[in-house]
Structure 1
Amino acid sequence: MRAYTNATMITGEGTMLTKGTLLVENDKIVAVGEQVEIPSDAELIDVTGKFITPGIIDVHTHLGVHEEGVGPAGADFNETSDPVTPFVRALDGINPVEKGFEDARRSGVTTVQIMPGSANVIGGEMVVLKTVGTIVDEMVIRNPSGMKAALGENPKRVYGSKGKAPVTRMGVAALFRQEFIKAQNYLNAIEKDKHHARDLGLEQLAKVLKKEIPLRVHAHRADDIVTIIRLKQEFGFDLTIEHCTEGHQISDFLAKQNIRVSVGPTMSTRSKVELADKGWHTVKELMEKGISVSVTTDHPVVGIEYLLTSLANAVKHGVPEEEAWKMVTSNAAKHLGVEDRVGSLEKGKDADFVIWTGHPFAVETKVESTFINGEMVYHG
């Protein structure tokens, strides 16, 4: 058992402790607080002047399926043979020793969601992992953690350039509806006949219709966001909105939907028309309307090592610090459906935490150590 004492602690639930103690045994947190009873046999580690936070979480990445510095050989994130590929799984394309995982650990990122890219109207299943390991199956926290879909320019550009559907936003929505109607019919058929022929893609979409997993939809523009909410109402699935770049334009409407959103990669350039109104005002506006927001890098669009920098930028633009931390800890864990294990410093949760040399937002501060499941996985 180890006791980290005299730390300034950011719990992930919106509170900060001074001279806090974190008690860890094996892979779990045993106790957190300013008045923790420390067993006589515990190893004492004095971290006076340092900060401890939960391991931080990026809810939307392509780590391991879009390998850095590799080129086409490492591009396993878009199955562009067809605009509708619900049958693929990100799990099958992840290289767990890809350089980005090391960058994550060095930056205090301990949990990530990895998903297919946004070329396809329906792109396949995603997975939530810890950022350490050599066998991807042993890194999993939740699999599958959602089904990827995408509206807007990406499917139009990828398939329109090939002379295939979709070439318009109407076509994107039509393909989406068509596939979900097939999935509804498939569910009805197997309910009547348990020996009905299997279909992998429809099986995986059926999980969405049965609300076993959410649909996580790439949508930048306000009209695309409204379209996916319209489709949610038609088919009754659970939904998160990914990117939500123009969400601030319809924040009152979004606030009525009870939908979690991820915002980012706000540090990227305005590389396409959908990003014309990109900015930190989106995070602030959505947060102020009571919407549960997470911040993402969309790695490798922005390197995962800049997740904390993204958070600091949100604070500079008016997001209260305690609310900002939730966006990469407790809010992020709830976005992914893994809040029972990660996202805050609480008794019984996984011992995923980071020791910082000073205030995490200070320019001179570094990650001193990153821990996953109680094991040190990085030491600076």
Structure 2
Amino acid sequence: MLLIKNGKILTMAGTTYEKGCVLIENGKIKEVAQAIEPTNEMEVIDAKGGWVMPGIIEAHCHIGIMEEDKGFEGNDTNEMTDPITPQLRAIDAINPMDTAFDDAVAGGVTSVMTGPGSANVVGGQFVFMKTKGKSMDDLIVKAPAAMKIAFGENPKRVYNSKGKMPSTRMATAALLREALTKAVQYKVKKEKAVAKGEDFEIDFKQEAWLPVLNKEIPLKAHAHRSDDILTAIRIGKEFDVHMTLDHCSEGHLIPEYVASSTYPAIIGPTLTSRSKIEVQNKSFKTPGIVHQAGTLVALTTDHPVIPVQYLSKCAGFAAKEGLGIEEGLKAITINAAIICNVADRMGSLEVGKDADIAIFSGNPMEIFTDTLYTIIDGEIVYKN
């Protein structure tokens, strides 16, 4: 057993202990209380007034699949040979030995949603995973966790250069509708065949859509510009699927429409230059405005666009510009867990949840704050 004592315990579940304790047993949180008496069988961490929080969660990135310092050989982010590739699985391309995972745990990041990029209209399946280990099979929390789709500049640019669809926003939307229509038809045919006890030939590409159509996982929609966000919402509602609005850089221009869609927003990366037209209006004010309109908000570094260990600092800028400290912390813990459909296991310090915990010298959103410990599944994986 592992006991954390004398910490400011931010449970992110409605309770904060100014000086409290967390007890861990068999990789799970056993107790959270003002005081827990240590016993001989307990390893004890004295937090000495540091902030004890749920491990930070990155809700959208490309860690492990776009490896650092390796160029083409380490970049498996985009299969730029076909705009519709739902059958691709991030788990087959992520290298847990990517040095960025060490940076993640040093920043208190204990889990991530990672997967394909936005070159394709349909990029493939994301995975939600822990950030410390040698084998993907041991790190997976949820797979598939989302289906990546993309609007705006990226698919246009990639396939216009190849002289094929899509070279316009019209074609991007049309290809996605076509793919979803075929998937719906496949689902109906399969269900009818199964009901009748008939043989049915499995189509590997179409099978990848079933978790989306069954509302088990969301479409993960890359959309920066307001018109692209609205197109994503339009198609999501048309096919009655769950969706997350990833990047949502102009969400502050249409906050009422984002809120009325009921789709959550994963906002960022914002701590970067305005590198292309569709991010010309990005701002750290966006998360606060979108939150105030009634949307559930998480934040993203879009690693490696911003190094993943700086997610908490991005939350700090968003907090300063209107999101506020409490919501800033929620955006990188419990809100991210809810949006990624893993809140039953992480995102808050509650009995029975995974013991994924970060201990900081103070508020992690402040630049001079140090990560003191990072704990994943009850094991200390980083110690300052």
Q: TM-score range by the shorter chain?
A: over 0.9
Q: How far apart are the structure 1 equivalents of 2:104 and 2:383?
A: 13
List per-residue Cα deviations over 1:295-345 (Å, max 9, x = no partner).
110000111011111011112212221111100100000011000111011
1:161 is aligned to 161
> Aligned partner of 1:160: which letter?
N
List per-residue Cα deviations over 1:81-138 (Å, max 9, x = no partner).
1000011111100001111111101110000011100000011111000001111011
1:64 is aligned to 64
Q: How far apart are the structure 2 equivalents of 1:256 and 1:188?
A: 30
Q: How far apart are the structure 2 equivalents of 1:315 and 1:359?
A: 12
| Shift of residue 242, structure 1, vs aligned partner | 0.5
1:183 is aligned to 183
| Shift of residue 244, structure 1, vs aligned partner | 0.5
| Shift of residue 12, structure 1, vs aligned partner | 2.3
Q: How far apart are the structure 2 equivalents of 1:234 and 1:315?
A: 34
1:329 is aligned to 333
List per-residue Cα deviations over 1:5-47 (Å, max 9, x = no partner).
1111222235432011111112011111324465675444322
Normalising by structure 1, what TM-score?
0.97
RMSD value, Cα: 1.4
| Shift of residue 358, structure 1, vs aligned partner | 2.8
Shift in CA distance, 167/230, structure 1 to aligned 2, threshold 3 Å: same
Map 1:284-295 onto structure 2 (within 5 A): 284-295=288-299
Among 310, 313, 321, the residue aligned to 2:314: 310
Map 1:66-81 onto structure 2 (within 5 A): 66-81=66-81
Q: Answer yes or no: is the 8 Å Cα contact 1:241–1:260 preserved in 2.
A: yes
Map 1:190-205 onto structure 2 (within 5 A): 190-194=190-194, 195-205=199-209
Among 217, 223, 226, the residue aligned to 2:221: 217
Gap regions ≥5 residues in structure 2: none
> Aligned partner of 2:202: which letter?
R
Q: Answer yes or no: is the 8 Å Cα contact 1:14–1:323 preserved in 2.
A: no
Shift in CA distance, 306/122, structure 1 to aligned 2, threshold 3 Å: same
Q: Answer yes or no: is the 8 Å Cα contact 1:58–1:109 preserved in 2.
A: yes
Q: How far apart are the structure 2 equivalents of 1:40 and 1:98?
A: 38
Q: How far apart are the structure 2 equivalents of 1:132 and 1:92?
A: 17
> Aligned partner of 1:372: which letter?
I
1:17 is aligned to 17
Shift in CA distance, 208/361, structure 1 to aligned 2, threshold 3 Å: closer
Normalising by structure 2, what TM-score?
0.96
Q: How far apart are the structure 2 equivalents of 1:213 and 1:361?
A: 30
Q: Answer yes or no: is the 8 Å Cα contact 1:15–1:322 preserved in 2.
A: no
1:371 is aligned to 375
Q: Answer yes or no: is the 8 Å Cα contact 2:126–2:145 preserved in 1.
A: yes
> Aligned partner of 2:341: which letter?
G
Q: Answer yes or no: is the 8 Å Cα contact 1:14–1:326 preserved in 2.
A: no
Map 1:244-283 onto structure 2 (within 5 A): 244-283=248-287
Q: How far apart are the structure 1 equivalents of 2:25 and 2:39?
A: 11
Q: Answer yes or no: is the 8 Å Cα contact 2:289–2:323 preserved in 1.
A: no
> Aligned partner of 2:133: which letter?
G
Q: How far apart are the structure 1 equivalents of 2:17 and 2:323?
A: 20
Q: How far apart are the structure 1 equivalents of 2:124 and 2:309?
A: 26
> Aligned partner of 2:332: which letter?
V
Aligned: 1:91 with 2:95: no
Q: How far apart are the structure 1 equivalents of 2:255 and 2:363?
A: 32
Q: How far apart are the structure 2 equivalents of 1:206 and 1:21?
A: 43
Aligned to 2:322, the other structure's residue is in SS state coil
Q: How far apart are the structure 2 equivalents of 1:204 and 1:14?
A: 38
Shift in CA distance, 361/233, structure 1 to aligned 2, threshold 3 Å: closer
| Shift of residue 356, structure 1, vs aligned partner | 1.4
1:5 is aligned to 5
Q: How far apart are the structure 1 equivalents of 2:355 and 2:88?
A: 32
Aligned to 1:318, the other structure's residue is in SS state helix
Aligned to 1:256, the other structure's residue is in SS state helix
Q: Answer yes or no: is the 8 Å Cα contact 2:54–2:357 preserved in 1.
A: yes
Q: How far apart are the structure 1 equivalents of 2:260 and 2:366?
A: 36
Aligned: 1:349 with 2:347: no
Q: How far apart are the structure 1 equivalents of 2:233 and 2:164?
A: 26
Q: How far apart are the structure 1 equivalents of 2:353 and 2:207?
A: 32
Aligned: 1:243 with 2:242: no
Q: How far apart are the structure 2 equivalents of 1:59 and 1:131?
A: 13
Q: How far apart are the structure 2 equivalents of 1:306 and 1:40?
A: 37
List per-residue Cα deviations over 1:165-219 (Å, max 9, x = no partner).
0010000000001111111111122123342222111111122111121111101
Map 1:95-174 onto structure 2 (within 5 A): 95-174=95-174
Q: Answer yes or no: is the 8 Å Cα contact 1:183–1:206 preserved in 2.
A: yes
Q: How far apart are the structure 2 equivalents of 1:84 and 1:134?
A: 31
Aligned to 2:13, the other structure's residue is in SS state coil
Aligned to 1:177, the other structure's residue is in SS state helix
Q: Answer yes or no: is the 8 Å Cα contact 2:183–2:210 preserved in 1.
A: yes
Q: How far apart are the structure 1 equivalents of 2:341 and 2:146?
A: 10
Q: How far apart are the structure 2 equivalents of 1:43 and 1:64?
A: 32
Aligned to 1:317, the other structure's residue is in SS state helix
Aligned to 1:344, the other structure's residue is in SS state coil
Larger displacement relative to structure 2 (143-152 or 359-368): 359-368
> Aligned partner of 2:182: which letter?
K
Q: Answer yes or no: is the 8 Å Cα contact 2:314–2:365 preserved in 1.
A: no
